Structure 1
Amino acid sequence: MKKCIYLLCVLSFVLTACQEDKFGSKENSGSAALKLKFNTSSNLSRAVSSDEEEQRIQNVYVFIFNQDGTRVFGQFYNGINANGTHQIEIKNIPAGSGKIIAVVANINLDIFDMTTATLDAITAYPDLLALTSRMQDKFIERGAQFLMSGTTAADLTANTTNPVNVSLKRVDVKIRFNVTTAEGVTFTPLDWQVVTVPRVVSVLPTEVQGLFEFGGNYFDSSWNNFEISMTGANTFAFYIPENKVDVRKAIPATGTYAEQYALREKQEKTPNNDGTVTNGAYEYADERATFVKFKGNIFYTIGSGKEVSADVTYTVHLGAVNGVNDYNSLRNHFYTYNVKIVSVDDIIVEVESGEEAQEPSPGSEGDVVFAKKVLEFDAHNEVFKTVFHQSDIDQSLTWNISTPFSKGAEDENPKDYEWICFRINTKSRTTYSGDFTRFKGDNGVYTDAELTIPGYSHPLDKYMADINSGNDKMLNIKQLVSVLKECKRRYLANNGAVSGTLFDSADEIVFTTFLRDFYYEVNPENTSETVENGLWKKFVNTEKRVLNILSNLQYSADRVSTKTTALYSIRQASIQTMYNKEAAENFTAWGTEAIQDEDRYRFETTTTRDNRTYDDKDNGRANTINMWMANSGSEKWDTYIDYTTWEMKPAYNAAKYRCMRLNRDMNGDGQIDENEVQWYLASINQLTDLWIGENSFDPQARLYKRSTWEEDLQWYASSTVLEKNSSRVGGIISGYYVYRDNPDILWSSEGSSVGLLTGAGAIDDAIVYYRCVRNLGVPKNAAKEVRPDDFAIYDETTRTITLTRLDAKSIRGFKTTEELADHNERDVRGYNKPWKAFKINPTTHGNALSWQTIMARSQPGATNPVCPKGWRVPNQRELALMYSRMPRNSTSWPLTDHFAKSSFSFNPTGGNRIGFSVKNEGGVFYLLHNKSDEVGGVRCVQDVD
């Protein structure tokens, strides 16, 4: 998986020239009257701070030095909160020529460790020149916290006011990547990472390169998802401190510019005894040079009709504005990297050559598959059909896999291949039926010993005997390929006769193929069957697992890129979760399917006389089991699902039951057992949590993916049914009651608004979406009452919600002690995310105020803020976390309304759907419908460590 960073071929790469001064350029300041001017151009990128935030001067520390560098003045000015321009008047400064005016802005904040005390200790200009500041965490977002500095020389004339301008520049670099494709090529992004981010920066500009030792002065960011784009653009952006670094070795000025540019990602190669090579350090780039890695899948078809699918990783070293030997990222600059993906030809060249020298695009790595058919599936159990024509089978072909645990071809003995099995279809006269066959149970797969018993010359003979007697089992992939090859050998030996083979009159063999859900109870690479605590962290939110059938496999010399030609490439998405799989703590979790059903259904199609209970707000599995298993566990799979198509029968083709088909009859007895209910309908709080953590999911797994607000398409029904509508049938005396479920639903277009289905319309007329989820790390035979650990821990004593179990992608990228900037619920800058932990103020504030008034009083620098100093109005996700974790009573929610800072993204100009609120006693979390009719207050919050 490597990247080509040039203008032609595989991945064409265009680097938009660094837009000098677009990140701030013209400022003014003075001595007797010191004027600071801070201007920036329009912000050209999303997912980073706004113009206003980049320009904000919250405070400044002003120095004046004599020509010899001695300090004559230093003072801190706080509470400025100016947007781009500020003026300060300073008196009683000794006159003279060659004075040095220096300003450091935005100190005592949370991103960098620069404080007033540090600057008070500066006694001479050389000390300030040598001063550095360190980031307090691994931040690549900034909010409104931009450390800035600037200097100028001035002659101060006595007895007059001397105007002096100081140009302030941010110490940060702003970077955006835009990924596009050639016509006919589809790129599905996964995630991206910034590698070797400097953690330390010089406060004033310096010409010195490679200023900091490698060691602990650099970090790698976590992997982040691409932005949620309403236009379908594949883009992301971030900030890093200035990084000035020299080359390790200069790239020779030979060949084309594209060839020279490709060498920026070239690595040293160490030959191995087996003819392969091992990648080492970058040959030309210094180890301190910052680079970006991003992943995704490339798909297109070629002239022969074959489908090309490639899982790719691209590496791009930053810089190259001033030639291929430039690895600098300069402060106060904005760089745009436009990457165009044309094909994966360069990866193929590298693999097919098998030689170290044949690596035309060193920054491109990939697993490239050419297949007659690429089949994409979700993380749950699935059933489909595979057809093998005699012309597809060759004795040289085999199979290969790529999973979180194993990678390689059959002769490399990968262990993780038992997640797919095959059962032959029945024959209708001389051709195979298109109907699926039944799953035989998890233990219904042949062992190798069962197919190689004495009396049969080949496993095919034993298999055919079992088929004829109706005692056939299912084949694993190793057995399948062996059987297919033997069928083809006999076919050729018999001059095309199908007798003694499995081929039908069309020269085909048809199998029902059973794909297991992307879940592991034990590590398949371990010989022990011992359950490994936290094993789920190794296979969630990963790249798809892939099985290529009837294939050949080739490796690049460094073994990091491959090329496969196959009949079928079966690809299964991983379970998506918002839980933090990087956490050292061992805990259980839950996750969601990756590709939602885009059809809508009535919640139920029939009434019931049985007033069952499934009202848990958190435990969707218990709700679902109670919902499906009304007759004490005597239900049959055939009652609900037609096994010949594996679709719901019409009477049960409703949201209430749709998750059933994601499961499987694991013991093959036809009866639905509790431990066979692994995929279940999410509870109402689980639906809310899918919104809380949606930034941790692949874009296709998110609940709402539209670019406009469609009120009648937004309802997700949960398994939480707190109310049932009832009616009497058959008269007053002899009649009985029938019930209709009235489940809690989530308005996905609003993020986390919840209410009853009847709030969205009549029960019989409303059609809804559904979402199936699965427990992680919970034993499959666990009782239904066992629920996964929560990713949000609420301490009622300290009123603190801690989110160390929440994935970093769903955590705000910066901590703040200030009010959040104006934003909406779909903000891409991080303002509608929680910090790692936040505390809830014990009392309410701003009581009896409208939402608009509270917004006006929660602006930076507001003279009459709603929340006490150091506290702020919660964003929508924080309010949703409070709503789902705090008790729903008058103590927690005493006001008529409790507002969030977030506005509604789809509110039209002048519209009345303005923001979000929780009603008194936690009655409902909803979208405000009027501008000023609702009055309430705020449960203020505070970021804490």
Structure 2
Amino acid sequence: MRNKFILYGLLNLLFIFIFSSCTDERLTDFSSETSSGQEMTIYLHTKEATFVESRNGDETEVLDNVVVYALDADGQVLKNIYQQLDNRNYVTMYIPEGASSLFAICNYDNPDELLQKKNLDEIKELKITIENYEEAYKGCYVMSSIDAVAIEGTTLNIPVYRVAAHFDVKINFAPESEEEQTFDITSVMLYNIPNVTWVVRHGEDKENNTLPLSANSNDAMYSNGSLSSEAFLSNQTVDFIRETDGTSEADDIDYTLSFDMFENRRGGVDRDNYPWPSSYQDNKQLYKAEIAKGEQFEYATYLKITGVYKVGNGLVREVSYKIYLGENNFSDYNVYRNYKYDYTITIKSGTSDGIDTRVEAENLTSMKVYASLDEPLDAHFNAVRAMVYSPGNWEMYVKNPDATPWLEISTSELYIPNKLDNTGQNVNAAQYKLEGSGGITYVYIHTDEYVPEQTSPQQNDLQQVRSGIICYKNNTGAIQELEVKQYPAQLVILDYYDALTVKHVKDTFFVERILEEKNIEWGFKEYWSLTMDNLITTGQWDGLSNTRKLFETALHGDGFEGDTNDPGLDLPGLEDPAYPGVSSMPTNVAVGYAIAKNRDRNGNGRIDYDEIVWYMPAMKELKAIYEHLERKEVDFEATTEKFASSTPSAAGPNAANPGRFYYIKMATGDISLAMRNRSYNVLCCRRKGAWQGNADAGGSGGVTIPDGEYEDEDFIMPKTETSN
């Protein structure tokens, strides 16, 4: 064991030298030196988001990086600096003679673009564009000053404002009738979401009580004096969380959702003098959707909540509710930047009765299945929830299952292998056919992983999908179909000469293409263990080994003595678990998110060590993915954003900071270090031809390890060219 620790020490020293060239972005100064001036400490603070509560009933303030401009009296840039902020909110800058004010922009994706700006007018013409609503928040908000701050003394506070608004929405079901009723949401959509905004606010601001009630013509969506439809995203699907079974008490919250968006200031009507019809004087909110039909509010943002409303054992309707966003629920259609909106939406009825203009309803008289299957699923294991409504008995089955053995259905979101034992078949197990009685039932569509047989990245077909059909019918006999499509994994080759093993390394793995979640915290904050310390040097290549070791460290620490789940690893150290008292890896941290993409093959209700085949890539693997992306051999979402690796960096015992990890800027391929409390994207991978489970997911569901490989798990070096 002593020799082992000596070896670890030597490796650490060697790798400190090798990787000293990795970027840890601290301070970049692109301005010329000046002969006179003063040094100033500049403190940045996020301006508190104005809080709007729509019914009488802490947002992230991360500063990741900053560009600070020193301006003269005419707004010309005399000097600028770019600095990565490591858990601090200040920078030190040398202020040149003639500078009279400072201006700051934080968390911008491309700081090089900012550093090219010559004056304040150019800075204020900067825009941010996005391709989907989720990009309004990328782990931290872009923030900027509103006005330049005059220079006084040797320290200065600069307030910065978020360019986006944040919404927290709670939906509760509280029917007015005492008759038994249920409501099940099938989708939530966002309409009229801007895809562009100014980095620096334009126009008047409500904070100064100067914003006119009419629509704001300074929004970035205007082109030649009028709103452009191309400045808005197509309808966006918003994920929601089901908190109850839909039959809760009136005060309970049944569903929650949250989202961020750019400002959309479409104005409003005079809340005191608008001529509401007499029947709406006491319930003005019921008329808001009718007002929105006016041309002025054509592009006002609204939520559309759709679901199935059931009354007793009789009437069943598909109902949609339009909720226009704004400061209140009856007269305002403005969404402001740097605002936090807290909405409580109460659903009381499944019909408009010709009064509530926000409600659209249609009676359901036949079987209907609601499932989000418009786009192909990713290459890893999937479980897609579908809501089935039928007025009578129904049947659902996989069409031609022999041709699509990868496609199954069940009543359990957790995959339960379909196997026979002495207790008989589990009714919740994955299978090819289900039957049910009338009413609402939740069914889960399971897909196996799609890892094609190929040997070269040039064989990756970026347009290819496989598809299967799920049929459903009720007692009327009419058969309807759902098509399930799935992307294949994409092959990547990591090819380089390893100075440590003095061997040519050729490692092959597959990569996914869809980010089901974005901006996930790396985790393990302020946590140190000898295992993680070793991964700083030994964890540069093999993300599968990293992921499994982080999994064990999270649940068990470095020591396993007496643990029934001990995988038999000889890991050094005795540090306690990073996440004590849990039986599975938390999914709100990066490695837990990756582990959740695996399948519980043995049916014990959790992902075990040997069942981890989809993993979080190591630093060198991310670099290889970038190189294949540059050659257009792979494709995936958010290719211009930051992606976290499973390779940790330093975090000492009782650390004063959260610790660090390696990440890549996928737009440029640059490798950098970030604090572990930062939230970046996670792209998951699968090793080619190693640690593969039983294809039929039956029997014991065990996972085998190829003979002659990975025998010593103290640390795993890359495989040689001949062993792959």
So what's the TM-score if we normalise by structure 2? 0.52
Match of 1:793?
489
CA gap 1:43/1:841 in 2 versus in 1, 3 angstroms? farther
Matched AA of 1:266: E
Counterparts of 1:235-250 in structure 2 under 5 Å?
Answer: 235-247=256-268
CA distance in 2, matches of 1:216, 1:838: 38
Displacement of 1:74 in angstroms is: 1.7
CA gap 1:768/1:864 in 2 versus in 1, 3 angstroms? same
CA gap 1:888/1:117 in 2 versus in 1, 3 angstroms? closer
Match of 2:315?
308
Match of 1:572?
367
Displacement of 1:198 in angstroms is: 1.0
Measured against aligned partners, the alpha-carbon deviations of 1:618-666 in whole angstroms (never above 9, x if no partner) come to xxxxxxxxxxxxxxxxxxxxxxxxxxxx9xxxxxxxxxxxxxx9579xx
Matched AA of 1:308: L
Displacement of 1:887 in angstroms is: 1.9
Match of 1:234?
255
Is the partner of 2:686 in helix, strand or coil? helix
CA distance in 2, matches of 1:592, 1:582: 13
Displacement of 1:343 in angstroms is: 1.6
Matched AA of 1:86: N
Name which of 57, 61, 71 aligns with 2:67.
61
Name which of 306, 309, 326 aligns with 1:319.
326
Measured against aligned partners, the alpha-carbon deviations of 1:125-161 in whole angstroms (never above 9, x if no partner) come to 233233322225553563413101124555545xxx4
> Does residue 162 of structure 2 align to residue 170 of structure 1?
yes
Match of 1:329?
335
CA gap 1:326/1:232 in 2 versus in 1, 3 angstroms? closer
CA distance in 2, matches of 1:92, 1:243: 37
CA distance in 2, matches of 1:594, 1:260: 34
Name which of 93, 97, 105 aligns with 1:94.
97
Q: For the Cα contact (< 8 Å) 1:592–1:772, is it kept in 2?
A: no
Counterparts of 1:107-256 in structure 2 under 5 Å?
Answer: 107-108=108-109, 115-135=110-130, 137-139=132-134, 142-151=137-146, 154-156=149-151, 161-182=153-174, 184-207=180-203, 209-210=216-217, 211=219, 212-213=221-222, 214-229=228-243, 233-247=254-268, 252-254=274-276, 255=278, 256=280
Q: For the Cα contact (< 8 Å) 1:227–1:235, is it kept in 2?
A: yes
CA distance in 2, matches of 1:43, 1:248: 21
Match of 1:261?
285
Match of 1:432?
none
Measured against aligned partners, the alpha-carbon deviations of 1:101-135 in whole angstroms (never above 9, x if no partner) come to 21100122xxxxxx223322322223323332222
Q: For the Cα contact (< 8 Å) 1:297–1:311, is it kept in 2?
A: yes
> Does residue 571 of structure 2 align to residue 769 of structure 1?
no
Is the partner of 1:127 in helix, strand or coil? helix
Match of 1:703?
413
CA distance in 2, matches of 1:106, 1:260: 41
CA gap 1:152/1:57 in 2 versus in 1, 3 angstroms? same
Match of 1:362?
357
Q: For the Cα contact (< 8 Å) 2:47–2:159, is it kept in 1?
A: no
Counterparts of 1:270-669 in structure 2 under 5 Å?
Answer: 282-283=293-294, 285-301=296-312, 307-321=314-328, 324-345=330-351, 347=352, 349-350=353-354, 360-368=355-363, 546-547=364-365, 571-574=366-369, 576=371, 580=375, 594=387, 662=395
CA gap 1:876/1:248 in 2 versus in 1, 3 angstroms? closer
Counterparts of 1:903-922 in structure 2 under 5 Å?
Answer: 921=706
Is the partner of 2:317 in helix, strand or coil? strand
Is the partner of 1:263 in helix, strand or coil? helix
Q: For the Cα contact (< 8 Å) 1:201–1:242, is it kept in 2?
A: yes
> Does residue 593 of structure 2 align to residue 832 of structure 1?
yes
CA gap 1:856/1:339 in 2 versus in 1, 3 angstroms? farther
Displacement of 1:218 in angstroms is: 1.1
Displacement of 1:162 in angstroms is: 2.5
Match of 1:752?
none
Matched AA of 1:87: Y
Displacement of 1:94 in angstroms is: 2.5
Q: How big is the alpha-carbon RMSD for the aligned residues of Structure 1 and Structure 2? A: 5.5
Question: Mean Cα displacement is larger for which, 256-265 or 62-71?
Answer: 256-265
Q: Structure 1 stretches of 5 or more lacking a match?
A: 1-29, 109-114, 268-280, 351-359, 369-545, 548-570, 584-588, 597-645, 647-660, 665-675, 691-699, 705-714, 720-740, 743-762, 781-786, 846-850, 893-916, 924-932, 940-945
Match of 1:81?
86
Q: For the Cα contact (< 8 Å) 2:523–2:589, is it kept in 1?
A: no
CA distance in 2, matches of 1:201, 1:71: 23
Match of 2:600?
none
Name which of 717, 724, 729 aligns with 2:417.
717
Q: Report how many residues are paired.
A: 464
CA distance in 1, matches of 2:332, 2:50: 27
Matched AA of 1:237: S
User: Which structure has the larger Rg over C-alpha atoms?
Assistant: 1
CA gap 1:283/1:838 in 2 versus in 1, 3 angstroms? farther
CA gap 1:579/1:291 in 2 versus in 1, 3 angstroms? closer
CA distance in 1, matches of 2:591, 2:50: 20
CA distance in 2, matches of 1:860, 1:573: 56
CA distance in 2, matches of 1:875, 1:121: 26
Displacement of 1:678 in angstroms is: 4.8
CA distance in 1, matches of 2:385, 2:253: 23
Is the partner of 1:334 in helix, strand or coil? strand
Q: Structure 2 stretches of 5 or more lacking a match?
A: 1-37, 205-215, 223-227, 245-251, 434-444, 446-466, 472-482, 495-507, 526-578, 580-584, 598-613, 623-644, 665-670, 694-701, 719-724
Is the partner of 2:201 in helix, strand or coil? coil
CA gap 1:171/1:773 in 2 versus in 1, 3 angstroms? farther
Matched AA of 1:771: A
Q: For the Cα contact (< 8 Å) 1:800–1:838, is it kept in 2?
A: no
So what's the TM-score if we normalise by structure 1? 0.41
Displacement of 1:882 in angstroms is: 2.1
Name which of 656, 661, 676 aligns with 1:865.
661
Q: For the Cα contact (< 8 Å) 2:369–2:387, is it kept in 1?
A: yes
Measured against aligned partners, the alpha-carbon deviations of 1:12-67 in whole angstroms (never above 9, x if no partner) come to xxxxxxxxxxxxxxxxxx9822111237699999xxxx85xx22211100012233
Displacement of 1:163 in angstroms is: 2.1
Is the partner of 1:580 in helix, strand or coil? coil
**Percentage of matched positions with identical amino acids:** 12
CA gap 1:677/1:595 in 2 versus in 1, 3 angstroms? same
Match of 1:16?
none
CA distance in 1, matches of 2:519, 2:337: 22
Displacement of 1:195 in angstroms is: 1.0
